[in-house]
């Protein structure tokens, strides 16, 4: 069973993602902030990280850079309510980018693709 770490400061989002992804057969670990994120990744050893960009106490793009320094091979799916972050150069380090929506089909698709080792091209991220 693949393990996914969900990093989002909104509890309702963490619960929604966890419930939906558990139904897909994934083991889920969640955290509400970026505090100690690298230690959590080291301890939990997730197969993939779903990372919110805009959090109250942390910049998800900075956290992405931290993840890439120590855990380059772990796929990361960035999530944001704002599509404007797609153009941010820091977001290039992510495997996929998803705009938050009530419909989680795109998120689930990107997670499947990332876990299957599909290497995204810039055009497929839009």
Assigned superfamily of 3-125: Response regulator (3.40.50.2300)
pLDDT of residue 90: 62
pLDDT of residue 48: 98
**Structure confidence at residue 122 as a pLDDT band (50, 70, 90):** very low
Q: What is the pLDDT of residues 59-113, one digit of tens each?
A: 899 999 999 999 999 999 999 887 766 555 566 778 899 999 889 999 999 999 9
Residue 7 pairs with which residues in a beta bridge?
31, 51
Return all residues near 62 (Cβ < 8 A) that are at least 6 apart: 90
Q: What is the pLDDT of residues 38-71, one digit of tens each?
A: 999 999 999 999 999 988 888 899 999 999 999 9
pLDDT of residue 89: 55
Residue 123 has pLDDT above 50, yes or no: no
Give me 66's structure tokens.
Answer: 């931290």
């Amino acid at each position: 069973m693949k393990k996914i770490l969900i990093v989002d400061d909104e509890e309702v989002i963490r619960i929604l993602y966890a419930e939906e992804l558990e139904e897909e057969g994934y083991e889920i670990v969640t955290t509400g902030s970026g505090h100690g994120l690298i230690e959590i990744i080291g301890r939990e050893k997730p197969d993939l990280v779903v990372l919110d960009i805009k959090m109250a106490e942390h910049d998800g793009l900075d956290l992405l850079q931290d993840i890439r320094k120590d855990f380059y091979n772990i796929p990361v799916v960035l999530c944001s309510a704002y599509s404007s972050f797609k153009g941010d150069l820091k977001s290039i380090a992510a495997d996929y980018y998803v705009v938050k929506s009530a419909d989680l089909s795109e998120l689930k698709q990107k997670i499947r693709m990332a876990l299957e080792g599909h290497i995204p091209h810039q055009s497929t991220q839009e």
